[in-house]
Amino acid sequence: MAKTQKNKATSYHVGQLKAKLAKLKRELLIPTSGGGGGGGVGFDVAKTGVARVGFVGFPSVGKSTLMSKLTGTHSEVGAYEFTTLTTVPGVIQYKGAKIQILDLPGIIEGAKDGKGRGRQVIAVARTCSLIFIVLDVMKPMSHKKIIERELEGFGIRLNKKPPAIIFKKKEKGGITITNTVPLNHITADEVKAVLSEYRIHNADITFKEDSTLDDLIDVVEGNRIYIPCIYVLNKIDQISIEELDLIYKIPNAVPICAHHEWNFDELLATMWEKLDLVRVYTKPKGRVPDYETPVVLTNERNSIEDFCNQIHKAILEQFKCAYVWGTSVKHNPQKVGKEHILKDEDVVQIVKKI
């Protein structure tokens, strides 16, 4: 692909090459007989809490120290590489929410290709709601790019939203391409070349943003995971104030010192913001709301129906209506049905059928 000149005459050929490459990468994503997150004791961890945060990074960057300080869970700490050999789970309570933390074994360059049991590590990372890429500020910043490349190669898209491309297969009628914005990075020939490589000859494609060929391949493949990420730059006790100012210019980065527990407040606040969780307080009839133990919902599943299911599945069978106080309603309280979407720190009172 690097040898091919990019112009109108070669666009079809480039599209085919990119699609072939994506198909080969997909074969790496398909788990071997060892199992998706398996391949050894400790990789497959039962999911607990409302969200899961995974620590990813090279060996000896301080992941285990950070895990121990945040959760009180003992994760083997040592001054040598590859101290952690299995996934170590822990739990942190923050703003009333129980969040699972996973200390994953250190990965190395080539992890996506199976080096150093990297595929098992990244397979667990795919199940996380948020990834902490833990970096040592004393090591080159090129490590950040290497880890991003390893995760990207395993179908994980960091701090990205799914492409605004609507792709529908059909029985006949050929390829129909429409776009609501001008396309500067992709041509009709390239689109047809990619679909031809996947043996798709009849489909409707609508581009709602200025997409690239890689965006189209991600949509066609359909196995990409979009996960928010925080770059945790550890060991700031070893650098100057001027260097710290430079670190703050890196997008989505939080500098910390795990050993001295410096800047944990900012790290946890950023984690909460990225997880985008919704706390809902219950209010029994005739009593004050319970602000101590909120029901925590994810931003994708935050309707009254989801709220009821989180408490107990049987509630919906007797559900009549709900009264809501908070930012999701126009007046307080407001009578709503089970389809109503809740917002953070709403108060809900459920009314049952008589």
For the segment 313-328, the average pLDDT, to the nearest whole number, is: 94
**Going by C-beta distance under 8 Å and a sequence separation of 6 or more, which residues neighbour residue 317?**
none
Predicted pLDDT of residue 39: 40
Name which of 42-56, 66-80, 131-145, 289-303 the model is least confident about: 66-80
**pLDDT cut 90: percent of the chain above it:** 63
Give 321's pLDDT tier (boundaries 50, 70, 90): very high
Q: pLDDT tens digit string along 90-145? A: 999 999 899 999 988 777 666 555 555 667 788 888 999 999 999 999 999 899 99
Predicted pLDDT of residue 76: 55
Asked if the domains at 51-160+225-275 and 277-352 fall in one CATH topology, the answer is no
Q: Which one has a higher pLDDT value, 296 or 153?
A: 296
Q: Are 202 and 221 in contact (CB under 8 A)?
A: no
Architecture of domain 277-352: Roll (3.10)
Q: pLDDT tens digit string along 184-203? A: 999 898 899 999 999 999 99
Is residue 2 scored above 90 in pLDDT?
no
For the segment 257-267, the average pLDDT, to the nearest whole number, is: 95
Residue 123 main-chain phi, psi, to 5 deg: -60, -35
Other residues' Cβ atoms within 10 Å of the Cβ of residue 352: 11
Predicted pLDDT of residue 35: 42
pTM, two decimals, is 0.83
Q: What is the mean pLDDT of the chain?
A: 86
**Going by C-beta distance under 8 Å and a sequence separation of 6 or more, which residues neighbour residue 262?**
236, 237, 256
Cα separation, 118 vs 120, whole angstroms: 5
Predicted pLDDT of residue 60: 85
Task: Report the candidate in 278, 280, 279 with the shortest Cα–Cα distance to residue 299.
Answer: 278
Predicted pLDDT of residue 75: 58
Name which of 37-41, 163-167, 264-268, 320-324 the model is least confident about: 37-41
Q: Which one has a higher pLDDT value, 157 or 79?
A: 157
User: Which pairs count as long-range contacts for 191-196, CB under 8 Å and 24+ apart, including other chains?
Assistant: 191/15, 191/216, 192/12, 192/15, 193/11, 193/12, 193/13, 193/14, 193/15, 193/16, 193/19, 194/15, 194/16, 194/18, 194/19, 194/220, 195/220, 196/16
Cα separation, 54 vs 262, whole angstroms: 20
Per-domain residue ranges of the chain: 8-29+163-221, 51-160+225-275, 277-352
Q: pLDDT tens digit string along 22-58? A: 887 777 655 543 444 444 444 567 888 899 999 999 8
Q: With respect to CATH, is domain 51-160+225-275 assigned 3.20.20.70?
A: no
Give 11's pLDDT tier (boundaries 50, 70, 90): confident
- CA distances from residue 69 to 29, 97, 152, 311 in whole angstroms, order as listed: 33, 18, 29, 31
**Going by C-beta distance under 8 Å and a sequence separation of 6 or more, which residues neighbour residue 161?**
226
Characterize the bridge pairing of strands 290-298 and 277-282.
antiparallel
Helix axes 11-29, 213-221, angle to 10 degrees: 40
